[in-house]
Structure 1
């Protein structure tokens, strides 16, 4: 089916496509967005099919596929309008199994649109609509927009009247075309300076104590949530007193909690941000969010009021310089790793999510252990704190690799974080960092020397994949020479071209993973992990 229109990927999609492909295929569903969609009384399967077909015709992003092997850059390809595929299953046919299949099966980016629908029926009655979205094409704003339009369409269908939706002014291809003419060099210069000042790895001591043997095994991880109704009023009081947004309060709280957990006083993390306002096309139905570097220097033991001021400044700076291709920032981090001769790692993340007007559904503090996030653990993060703000409370949801925080540390982190912010709701309280760290109550690791990365055994014969990897990297990136002592980015490889590198490797009879290549490891070490593959597998990206 020929595309109607095409363009490069939108900048907000770069992070999500790289993270999606870096994870093992069986774990990629961790990035899917699944929801059980509420239906109005009287809604039928025909109403849903008509409404979703209308939305697919209206929004090009819902009928877009991705050619990740396109040269010189991956492309989004808009297909002609057609009814979206929908699965219909009755309550007698084990709908839970079908929903699980749709949720956990990886999206075929080259052939499948970013929306899956499952209609669950009983007799001739529609009971439920389950939707699964590919994060590559959706962020929270896009999901809210689509949900509102689906509500309007279904209400109109049930009432037997036309639906009144505003015209769609711009599509993802229009946004990508606009971004292609934008030159973010000033913003990238800002990030280059920020990256120069980053500590190498604030979790290095815990990683060293855990040991390489434990890390080589299947990753262990923990997940817990703490809902605190009173934390909503506390964070709003802190924000009002300091004249900052509530998100800045959580940036400050996360920095202090990381300082308590790591024993470090220069604490970087990645803050998820929306780039809709900066894009100049904020209404486009696509993903316009990615995590930006956010580092706070607490070495001078400032009071919390000053930590909060610095956090607000960092958020403003990040937003002012955030509309850039995400992969360019990660390439700058890789270049800094090569300059230092050791990996600069910032893999602790913070995401602030406004869930109002919905309720947290509890009138008292509630701590819950969640299922171990093993699929998330395979995607390359260390710690991930989601802050959900409801109409009547705040939920703190933390995911952590076991090598970074065991179960006891996860619980202390959440409770200490909440205690820190609750204490500062009192305008007379302004703890310095060392006092705040004691309040949080985490035990930092003992500092140990970070072992030098293991190199090839002296005198050992080179792996037969060495020349194939060097040739593939050079071919795809237009390089005259590739030094296998360099990492892929340090050698001049561009991250968005990694799918093509894997295809070029397959042409030469070798297979590997995108995550290994994207990591700041010497290409020689990556080549040692490659495995032979039959030539028939070449060129496939899944």
Structure 2
């Protein structure tokens, strides 16, 4: 069946910077590649007839221009084209005896299995899943060119309102408006400030953290290991309160500290995935705004507490300077590479994919913050394989999950640089570092031994960045973007998990 829509306006404009960030990544992919497709599901609460559900779907598409936008390359550069009037094909699937949301997840995965034709096809495919003759769930495939995880939350909230028949004011800010803002005085000045910040940071960042010989890779080469640790969550909350920082800063800094202990570098550079929703207009905009922030942290001395306090400030600065023209950033990085005699490798990433900054459903710790009680939670920790891929543009990628009862932490590694065993060691090292930090401050020079991390060995005992340590085995690897994982993402806060598919925006 089809749903006809008629939006308030159509139009054409250059891509927003957020759209450009993903557009660059799609240029790496073959036509029809589904890497940046996002399977997603929504419930249909209450007792609604099919016509009412299709009317709500029409309202969602008419309301948010990003859902009816195509993107194309033109002689003047890539552009977005908002379709004012059109027709959306909607499939219908019967759940039978199965759970409708489970069936919707399967249907969403099928819809997302084929790449979008960005120039000709709206970035939305959908199906209604029925049970007992009534709509029970929706299955979607969405393009990351059109939506990010923040947008999924907006769509989920609007979906409930539309089904309930509630009147809502029209959105005041759409990607067409954002594109115009980024080219006008205030927006352009913001982008220029971000580029100046990156220029200063790139001048001091290590050329690479991974200046040591590689190892024989697995096949597929890129492996993601997961850990669920209530102890990490409880410790992070305790340390964040103690040090007056955020739990995100505790986890980000811990990741940098562990990489420093592993590689021997006392200055660590990572890219942070930034939502770029810093003002009410972009906060309410449906579209993609995610870009990378640059986090450079000096770990030459002191304790984990010192590092976390410094890291908190550095992370906030990174978040403030993650809105820029991606093509101008590419030119800047090439310029810095010529000045420094080599490309700065920014293939280490951290992404906090949670929707809130704490874990409200953790096991109770009595008394609160007690070191022994938190340490006892380590008995519940488990690690597991998340997946493996042939091509990913990252050497190390830490990311949290939206879990609220435990700290879900994933670590993807390039096994040509770091073996799978190192990924396990770094994840468990995160737990050891945070739990130990609750009991007492941890000197940075004690982290490797404390956490069971074996520092890398360089030929001839040479140190980080020493001449002769970057032979053919140690070349910097830049490959295709991270593929979307198979599990669909449900609406609401759980949609934040989809942020993980951004995989940064390094030197692709």
- TM-score tier, shorter chain, comes to 0.7 to 0.9
Residue 43 of structure 1, aligned match among 15, 39, 48: 48
* Residues 1:124 and 2:133 are matched in the alignment: yes
Matched ranges for 1:77-88 at <5 A:
77-88=81-92
Deviation at 1:297, TM superposition (A): 1.6
Residue 102 of structure 1: aligned partner: 111
User: What is the rounded CA distance, in whole Å, between the counterparts of 2:405 and 2:204 in structure 1?
Assistant: 39
SS in 2 for 1:54: helix
RMSD: 3.0
- Measured after TM superposition, the shift of residue 123 of structure 1 is 6.3
State yes or no: 1:412 paired with 2:429: no
1:55 and 1:290 map into 2 onto residues whose CA distance is 25
Query: Is it true that 1:21 corresponds to 2:18 in the alignment?
Result: no
Report the CA distance between 1:77 and its aligned residue. Answer: 0.5
| 1:335 is the counterpart of 2:350 | no
> Is 1:63 aligned to residue 76 of structure 2?
no
- 1:96–1:294 CA distance, 2 compared to 1 (3 A): closer
Aligned residue among 152, 165, 168 for 1:165:
168
Q: 1:342 to 1:453 in 2, by over 3 A?
A: farther
Residue in structure 2 matched with residue 312 of structure 1 by the alignment: 312
Equivalent in 425, 429, 450 of residue 439 of structure 1: 450
Q: Secondary structure at the match of 2:387?
A: coil
Higher Cα radius of gyration: 1
CA–CA separation in structure 2 for the residues paired with 1:178 and 1:114: 23
Looking at structure 2, the residues matched to 74 and 218 of structure 1 have their Cα atoms a distance apart, in angstroms, of 36
Paired with 2:330 and 2:253, the residues of 1 have a C-alpha distance of 24
Question: Which residue is equivalent to 1:385?
Answer: 398
Who is 1:291 aligned against? 292
Give the direction of change, closer, same or farther, for the CA distance of 1:51–1:134 in structure 2 (3 Å limit): same
Find the residue that maps to 2:171 and give its secondary structure.
Answer: coil
Question: Match of 1:324?
Answer: 324
Question: Is the CA contact (8 Å cut-off) linking 2:104 and 2:137 kept in structure 1?
Answer: no
TM-superposed CA distance for 1:87, in Å, is 2.1
8 A contact 2:353–2:402 mirrored in 1: yes
Distance 1:351 1:130, change over 3 A: same
Task: Give the match for residue 462 of structure 2.
Answer: none
Which digits, 9 at most, give the CA deviation of each residue in 1:358-413, with x for residues without a partner? Answer: 88798863424234331xx5231112111235433211111112113322111111
Structure 2 equivalent of residue 511 of structure 1: none
User: TM (normalized to structure 2)?
Assistant: 0.78
The TM-score with structure 1 as length reference comes to: 0.74
Q: Which runs of 5+ in 2 are unaligned?
A: 1-5, 364-376, 460-467, 474-505
Query: Could you say which residue in structure 1 is the equivalent of 2:202?
Result: 195
Q: Are the counterparts in 2 of residues 137 and 287 from structure 1 also a CA contact under 8 Å?
A: yes
Distance 1:425 1:32, change over 3 A: farther
CA-to-partner distance for each residue in 1:109-129, whole Å, 9 max, x for gaps?
111222221223356343432
Q: How far apart, CA to CA, are the structure 1 residues paired with 2:30 and 2:437?
A: 42
The number of residue pairs the alignment matches comes to: 438
Query: Contact 1:360–1:394 (CA<8 Å) still a contact in 2?
Result: no
Q: In 2, distance between residues paired with 1:280 and 1:96?
A: 32
Pairing 1:254–2:255 present: yes
TM-fit CA distance, 1:143: 0.9
Aligned to 2:497: none
Give yes or no for contact 2:108–2:126 (8 Å, CA) kept in 1.
no
Distance 1:453 1:203 in 2: 12
CA separation of 1:114/1:368 partners in 2, compared to 1, >3 Å: closer, same or farther? Answer: farther
Could you tell me whether the CA contact under 8 Å between 1:228 and 1:393 is conserved in 2? yes
